[in-house]
């Protein structure tokens, strides 16, 4: 097996020592330790303390982690410092979720012989699904990677985690994994490396669910593997998203144009919430062109991404479906690229919707011009699924904005008003998911407190003795968590 080598995107030079790929025998051993760890039998309180230990340990070595990640990703020290803090705060959030207790959906129904049919005593709770495989993302080496949201939520649920590292930042992954593993009991957390380790992890019979953040092609291939197993397992993939934005005439200002360019080029456009498709009045093209033309590019995460972006925008520019309206500056170093803005008319877009809604991962955007915003109401519901959809409107356009939002809610998991989609808050109310191809399952979120629900399965105890029930279901509610008792939500 070949080793995984990291590179500095600013120079294209190798960084760090090669990381050996994981063999099938090594994977078997890692999975066996996860199964034997007993993590699913630990209490919520113990898991909360463990998550906080992991967060503290990561914070304690932040300087090493951030400097290493910057050398492998070129994302910059300020961005990475903030991302690592988001990651540790995310771990602490799930500790609070565990202590609050409603994530268990504890439900108690007393026996009732007078119902039809008669009802026995039933007590229902969510339990850990088992060992979870997590695929680290390239564009967020901390928050969506080794110690990211999938890992944090799965550990919180009581599921041991095995991470498949991303080849864009192998040294960062090794260092992060070392810190996470040191703060947890043996076997609860493991990591594997190398191209072959990914499919092997998905197909391993002791792995019971998988979380993935990455490309549509790679995610679909792994999704098919998970579904094609002798015992199919859940695969929660976050894939491609063009994140449509509608700018109504009253919001077509220079300020809005500047905000668009900032969001489009943030992190060299390497955000899953990058606003890649925008509908705007024809009169706004000049302002959008000026804003993007004044922007700067930078190095992408790896050579493959750089080549994929360049190939995609070159093909788009060569087509007769769009016009190249603006090109930002390119520092011309390492794996750098320049921002691109293309324009097309609504009629052309509607006739070529499949082609013009393809994601070009990076700082590229397509602006679809319209003359009457009412015409958008027929086109918007036909868009492919996205993580987000945004509406910019003036105060006098709220009625129209509401109808635009209604048209968009079927194609996106998060609706944004007069703001930009880049940036995903870690909170109870966040939904980070959407219809295909944004995700493989639009019912769940990969960010926020309810992300834990992906790694939990229900079980009902019928007429079981009190002393054999989990504490969360025992009479008197000894843990004081929210429960539904005979249909009434409270703490009874």
**Cis (ω within 30 of 0) for the bond into 256?**
no
* Active-site amino acid positions: 238, 272
Which residues, given as ranges, of the chain have pLDDT below 70? 1
CA distance 289 to 258: 10
Residue reference for tokens 């499949």 = 354
Distance (Å, rounded) from C-alpha 483 to C-alpha 468?
18
Residue 231, Ramachandran bin (φ over 0: left; ψ between -120 and 50: alpha; else beta)? beta
Residue 385 C-alpha from the chain's centroid: 15
Which pLDDT belongs to residue 467? Answer: 94
How many other C-beta atoms can be found within 10 angstroms of the C-beta atom of residue 434? Answer: 25
Q: Cα–Cα distance between 12 and 233 in angstroms, integer?
A: 38
- Taking the complete model, does pTM exceed 0.85, yes or no? yes
Work out the number of other CB atoms within 10 angstroms of the CB of residue 25: 8
Question: Residue 329 carries which DSSP code?
Answer: B
Note the pLDDT of residue 1.
63
Instruction: Name, in order, each residue with C-beta under 8 angstroms of 116's C-beta and a sequence gap of 6 or more.
Output: none
Residue 379 CB partners (closer than 8 Å, separation 6+): 346, 349, 350, 353
Q: What is the mean pLDDT of the chain?
A: 97
Q: What is the DSSP letter of 21?
A: P
Nearest partner of 273 among 369, 416, 135, judged by Cα: 416
Do 129 and 209 touch, CB atoms closer than 8 A?
yes
Q: Beta strand pairing status for 244-247 and 277-281? A: parallel
């Amino acid at each position: 097996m070949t080793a995984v080598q990291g590179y500095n995107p600013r120079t294209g030079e190798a960084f760090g020592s090669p990381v050996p790929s994981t063999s099938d025998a090594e994977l078997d051993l890692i999975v066996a330790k996860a199964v034997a760890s007993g993590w699913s039998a630990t209490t919520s309180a113990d898991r909360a303390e463990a998550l906080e230990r992991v967060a503290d340990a990561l914070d304690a070595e932040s300087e090493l982690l951030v400097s290493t990640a910057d050398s492998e990703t070129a994302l910059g020290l300020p961005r990475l410092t903030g991302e690592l803090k988001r990651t540790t705060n995310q771990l602490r959030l799930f500790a609070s979720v565990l202590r609050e207790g409603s994530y268990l959906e504890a439900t108690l129904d007393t026996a009732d012989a007078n119902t039809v049919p008669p009802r026995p005593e039933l007590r229902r709770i969510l339990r850990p699904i088992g060992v979870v495989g997590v695929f680290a993302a390239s564009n967020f080496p901390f928050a969506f990677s080794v110690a990211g949201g999938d890992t944090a939520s799965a550990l919180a649920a009581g599921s041991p985690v095995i991470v498949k590292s991303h080849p864009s930042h192998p040294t960062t992954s090794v260092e992060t994994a070392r810190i996470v593993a040191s703060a947890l009991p043996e076997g609860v957390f493991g990591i594997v490396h190398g191209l072959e380790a990914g499919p092997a992890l998905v197909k391993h019979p002791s792995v019971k669910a998988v979380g993935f953040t990455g490309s549509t092609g790679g995610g679909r291939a792994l999704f098919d593997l998970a579904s094609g197993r002798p015992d199919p397992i859940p695969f929660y993939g976050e894939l491609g998203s063009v994140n449509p934005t509608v700018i109504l005439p009253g919001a077509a200002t220079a300020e809005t144009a500047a905000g668009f360019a900032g969001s489009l080029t943030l992190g060299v456009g390497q955000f899953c919430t990058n606003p890649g498709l925008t509908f705007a009045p024809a009169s706004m093209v000049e302002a959008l062109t000026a804003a993007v033309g004044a922007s700067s590019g930078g190095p992408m995460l790896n050579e493959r991404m750089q080549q994929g972006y360049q190939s995609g925008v070159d093909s788009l520019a060569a087509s007769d479906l769009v016009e190249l309206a603006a090109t930002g500056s390119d520092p011309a170093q390492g794996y750098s690229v320049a921002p691109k803005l293309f324009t097309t008319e609504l009629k052309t877009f509607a006739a070529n919707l499949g082609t013009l809604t393809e994601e070009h991962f990076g700082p590229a955007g397509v602006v679809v011009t319209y003359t009457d915003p009412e015409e958008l109401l027929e086109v918007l519901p036909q868009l492919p699924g996205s993580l987000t959809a945004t509406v910019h409107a003036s105060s006098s356009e709220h009625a129209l904005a509401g109808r635009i939002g209604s048209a968009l809610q079927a194609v996106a998991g998060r609706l944004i008003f007069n703001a930009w989609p880049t940036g995903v808050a870690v909170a109870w109310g966040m939904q980070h998911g959407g219809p295909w191809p944004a995700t493989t399952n639009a019912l769940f979120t990969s960010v926020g407190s309810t992300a834990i629900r992906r790694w939990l399965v229900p079980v009902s105890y019928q007429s079981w003795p009190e002393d054999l029930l989990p504490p969360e279901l025992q009479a008197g509610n000894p843990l004081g968590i929210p429960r539904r008792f005979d249909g009434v939500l409270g703490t009874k």
